[in-house]
Amino acid sequence: MSTTRPISPGSPEPSGASGVPEGGEAVPSTEGRPEDRQVRRLSLDGRSGVVPLARDFARQALYAWGWLPAATADQRAAAEDVLLVVSELVTNACLHAEGPDELWLGCDKKVIRIEVSDRGTGRPAPRTPHRAGRPGGHGMFIVQRLCLDWGVVRTAGTAGKTVWAELGAPA
């Protein structure tokens, strides 16, 4: 089952996918991140419907960066994995950290990096042991399984954290 909405090539994309939606912006590379990385940032602070908003924003970035439309099944699967990880990280911030503040996406030729910032104090971790038949509690397990790496960064002197995950670019 596809986790993305079907969009026929050449048709207008939802939510202004050829541009950046209100509250989102394409930004130049930031200090400390690779120079050749393309970056997009979306403020989610105080907004409602943040999970579909974040997925649509990520889908727009994937179109802009050439991940979509996908030419092969592997490329389509890679794009769907990115959208699923975005959904899981934003949902986690909604459920466990008073909601997300910002979604940051960065892409270079080999890796896409997803960062979700929030003001929560907890530290996300996959439930151990993972029980596939139980409802809920699968988000970070999914992130761990799909990503090359993931982690949590805290900024000294401020409340909250940034949960990040990296996925490989499609072949």
The mean pLDDT value of the chain amounts to 80
Q: How confident is the model at residue 153 (pLDDT cuts 50, 70, 90)?
A: very high
pLDDT in tens, 103-138: 999 999 899 999 999 998 877 766 666 566 666 677
Closest C-alpha to 121, from 158, 85, 86, 91 = 158
pLDDT of 133 reads 65
Closest C-alpha to 93, from 73, 72, 115, 76 = 115
What number of other Cβ atoms are within 10 A of residue 132's Cβ? 6
Q: What is the three-class DSSP state of 115?
A: strand
Alpha-carbon distance 118 to 43, whole Å? Answer: 11
pLDDT of 158 reads 83
C-alpha count within 13 angstroms, C-beta hemisphere, residue 64: 21
pLDDT in tens, 162-171: 999 999 987 7
Contacting residues for 63 by C-beta, under 8 A, at least 6 apart: 13, 17, 18, 69
Beta bridge partners of 161: 118
CB 112 within 8 A of CB 82: yes
pLDDT of 13 reads 36
- Per-residue pLDDT averaged across 64-85, rounded? 95
Closest C-alpha to 151, from 161, 139, 164, 166 = 164
Percentage of residues of the chain with pLDDT beyond 90 = 57
**In this predicted model, which residue has the larger pLDDT, 93 or 7?**
93
**In this predicted model, which residue has the larger pLDDT, 102 or 11?**
102
Closest C-alpha to 23, from 54, 59, 52 = 54
- Rounded alpha-carbon distances, angstroms, from residue 17 to 5, 27, 57, 157: 12, 16, 8, 37
State pTM to two decimals.
0.78
pLDDT of 169 reads 86
Q: How confident is the model at residue 37 (pLDDT cuts 50, 70, 90)?
A: confident
Residue 162 belongs to what H/E stretch?
strand 161-168
Sheet holding 24-27, edge to edge: 24-27, 38-43, 100-107, 111-118, 161-168, 149-153
**In this predicted model, which residue has the larger pLDDT, 154 or 156?**
154
